[in-house]
Amino acid sequence: MKNIVVFASGSGSNFQAIIDSIGKGEIEAHISGLIASRPGIGAIERAKSHNIPHYVLSGEPSDTSFTKVLISKLKAWNPDLIVLAGFLKKIPAEVTETYQNKIINIHPSLLPKYGGKGFYGIKVHKAVVDAGETESGCTVHYVNELYDKGDIIRQQRVTVSDDDTPETLAQKVLKEEHKLLPNVIAEILNNK
């Protein structure tokens, strides 16, 4: 059985989508752990209710201890795939090097548009609406040491309507994220 480790910073609805997809037998894997960037987030509650071990990774990515602790947790949870599902801290280079081509991220825009530093959460959707874009979407990509710059695996488009606000657009995109992310994970893991 393949192991997945999920990293999250928020409510964890994408984490839930992965849990549900495994439950339905669509992804042939098991989630060996959750890395949370801070205490009290929704993703931790979801981990607890599904008996998935979690670890709160506090501190800054530039701290040596951050990388050390993270690497030791990952060694214990032995991931075949690491999934960043709304994780807001930078992944240290030592981790991206150790797990080359084994880390994926979901980003709520059609990368390379609206990606990179400062483009996260509602800020992404606000920028899309402010620019008068007629379409947006979400992207799953491999993670390397540069923010949102790894190879794109798959994208899903959504139409931006005239009356969309950043909040309504976020909802539309999130709905697609919940389908795209489990599909890509299944594609990567099921055939190996």
Q: Is 107 a catalytic residue?
A: yes
Catalytically annotated residue among 50, 54, 107, 141: 107
Q: Which is nearer to ligand GRF, 71 or 113 (CB)?
A: 113
Q: How far is the CB of 22 from ligand GRF (least distance, A)?
A: 16
- Residues 27 and 11: their CA atoms lie apart, in Å, by 21
Joined tokens for residue 67: 């990388």
Least distance to ligand GRF from the beta carbon of 66, Å?
A: 20
Amino acid at 179: K
CA-nearest of 92, 54, 94, 96 to 76 is: 54
The residue within the footprint of ligand GRF, chosen from 3, 13, 98, 144 (CB under 6 A), is: 13
Considering the complex, what minimum distance in angstroms separates the CB of residue 63 from ligand GRF? 23
CB atoms within 10 A of CB 61: 15
Q: State the Cα–Cα distance between residues 106 and 72, nearest whole angstrom.
A: 24
Among residues 121, 153, 158, 183, the one that binds ligand GRF under rule CB under 6 A: 121
Q: Whose CA is closest to 107, among 62, 150, 47, 70?
A: 150
Q: Catalog residues that contact ligand GRF under the rule CB under 6 A.
A: 8, 10-14, 85-86, 106-108, 120-121, 174, 177
